[in-house]
């Protein structure tokens, strides 16, 4: 079996965007070009990689295996790119980063001591705000870069000139329920009697929750309204309902009285790095961006605990 690795990016885009049309839009190509590359990849592997449905495409077992390999290659390339971008002359300056809580806890804060050791004249300032405020600060020049979260099913926005968006991590949404809820081997979340917890409008989790509830034709009112994921986990642990949370929220932290469920069809949360690039951007900002990409590439979701 001889696979042209350049074709893997097409399958990866189809997997992340949910279909050929959306993948073509993301890659800036025509749908026929993406379909041709997919067909050639299937010919090279000898396996069908996707199954077409009225709602898009679903990966076959072989498709899932190949996407996992493509993600490993992407992570390795991000690590190499980050190392190559480190200048021989240590960068100087302060980089102002807008960020949200789960990515800060898992990817950025644990790496700050090592980054300071590698770049002693590089200083990081972290700002935690809601996404609209972070974007305003980025556009006004008050921030150098922002990490943002989206439900991966959302359409990619049109960005202003010289502003770029780099995908950092795609992570599965997880449904969390009180641990005393009796569950069968196959969970039909449409039949669970628990109420759904409500998230503030505009957050990635709110978009994902509304999408899942629409798909299941659930119209029952949601209870509570939370902003911080830790609040949701506390409410679920208290038996107040169930909530959709990202896998990072469950990483390396014990959450008593909570059971996370891996339910097919919940989709993924996409974390991106958005910033301005081009002439006039300080070298320190380029180095900081490469460090953040490196940190995201090293994140492992294998240790989500309860």
Per-residue pLDDT for 52 more than 90?
no
pLDDT tens, residue by residue, 132-149 = 999 999 999 999 999 999
Q: HSE (CB half, 13 Å, CA atoms) of 279?
A: 0
For residue 51, how far is the Cα from the chain centroid? 24
Residue with the larger pLDDT of the pair 163 and 191: 163
For residue 100, how far is the Cα from the chain centroid? 12
Check residue 293 and give its pLDDT: 94
Residue with the larger pLDDT of the pair 253 and 69: 69
Angle separating helix axes 61-85 and 283-298, nearest 10 degrees: 150
Distance CA 77, CA 161 (A): 26
Check residue 91 and give its pLDDT: 82
Check residue 85 and give its pLDDT: 61
Asked if 197 contacts 176 with a C-beta cutoff of 8 angstroms, the reply is no
| Angle in degrees, CA 9, 300, 274, rounded to 5 | 60
Average pLDDT of every residue of the chain = 87
**Among 100-109, 182-191, 217-226, the least confident range:** 182-191
- Minimal CA–CA distance to 306: which of 241, 261, 250? 250
DSSP string, 1-51: ----GGGHHHHHHHHHHTSHHHHHHHHTS-HHHHHHHHHHHHHHHTS--EE
Beta bridge partners of 175: 244, 261
Per-residue pLDDT for 286 more than 60?
yes
Asked if 63 contacts 107 with a C-beta cutoff of 8 angstroms, the reply is no
pLDDT tens, residue by residue, 98-130 = 999 999 999 999 999 999 999 999 999 999 998
pLDDT tens, residue by residue, 27-38 = 889 989 999 999
Query: Binning pLDDT at 50, 70 and 90, where does residue 203 land?
Result: confident
Query: Binning pLDDT at 50, 70 and 90, where does residue 306 land?
Result: very low
Asked if 49 contacts 11 with a C-beta cutoff of 8 angstroms, the reply is yes
Q: Which domains are seen in the chain, by residue range? A: 5-81 (1.10.10.10), 90-148+271-298 (3.40.190.10), 171-268 (3.40.190.10)
Mapping DSSP to helix (H, G, I), strand (E, B) and coil, where does residue 260 land? strand
pLDDT tens, residue by residue, 75-87 = 888 777 766 665 4
Per-residue pLDDT for 256 more than 60?
yes
Beta bridge partners of 172: 268
Q: How confident is the model over 153-177, as a mean pLDDT?
A: 88
Query: Binning pLDDT at 50, 70 and 90, where does residue 156 land?
Result: confident
Check residue 305 and give its pLDDT: 46
Pairing of strands 145-151, 93-99: parallel
**Among 10-19, 79-88, 207-216, 270-279, the least confident range:** 79-88
Per-residue pLDDT for 55 more than 80?
no
Q: How confident is the model over 148-153, as a mean pLDDT?
A: 92
Asked if 262 contacts 70 with a C-beta cutoff of 8 angstroms, the reply is no
């Amino acid at each position: 079996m001889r696979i042209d690795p350049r074709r893997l990016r097409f399958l990866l885009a189809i997997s992340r965007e949910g279909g050929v049309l959306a993948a073509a839009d993301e890659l800036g190509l025509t749908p026929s070009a993406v379909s041709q590359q997919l067909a050639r990849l299937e010919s090279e592997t000898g396996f069908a990689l996707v199954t077409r449905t009225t709602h898009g495409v679903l990966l076959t077992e072989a498709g899932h295996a190949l996407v996992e390999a493509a993600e490993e290659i992407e992570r390795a390339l991000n690590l190499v790119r980050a190392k190559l971008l480190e200048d021989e002359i240590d960068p100087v300056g302060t980089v102002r980063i807008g960020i949200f809580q789960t990515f800060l806890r898992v990817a950025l804060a644990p790496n700050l001591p090592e980054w300071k050791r590698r770049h002693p004249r590089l200083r990081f300032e972290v700002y935690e705000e809601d996404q609209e405020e972070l974007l305003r600060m980025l556009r006004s020049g008050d921030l150098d870069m922002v990490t943002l979260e989206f439900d991966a099913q959302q359409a990619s926005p049109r960005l202003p000139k010289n502003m770029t968006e780099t995908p950092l991590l795609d992570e599965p949404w997880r449904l969390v329920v009180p641990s005393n809820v009796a569950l069968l081997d196959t969970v039909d979340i449409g039949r669970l009697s628990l109420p759904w917890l409500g998230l503030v409008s505009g957050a990635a989790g709110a978009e994902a929750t509304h999408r899942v509830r629409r798909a299941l034709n659930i119209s029952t009112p949601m209870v509570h309204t939370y902003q911080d994921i830790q609040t949701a986990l506390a409410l679920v642990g208290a038996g107040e309902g169930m909530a959709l949370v990202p896998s990072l929220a469950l990483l390396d932290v014990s959450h008593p009285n909570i059971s996370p469920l891996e339910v097919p069809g919940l989709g993924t949360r996409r974390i991106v790095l958005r910033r301005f690039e081009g002439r006039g951007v300080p070298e320190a900002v380029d180095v900081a961006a490469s460090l953040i990409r490196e940190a995201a590439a090293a994140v492992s979701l294998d240790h989500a605990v309860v």
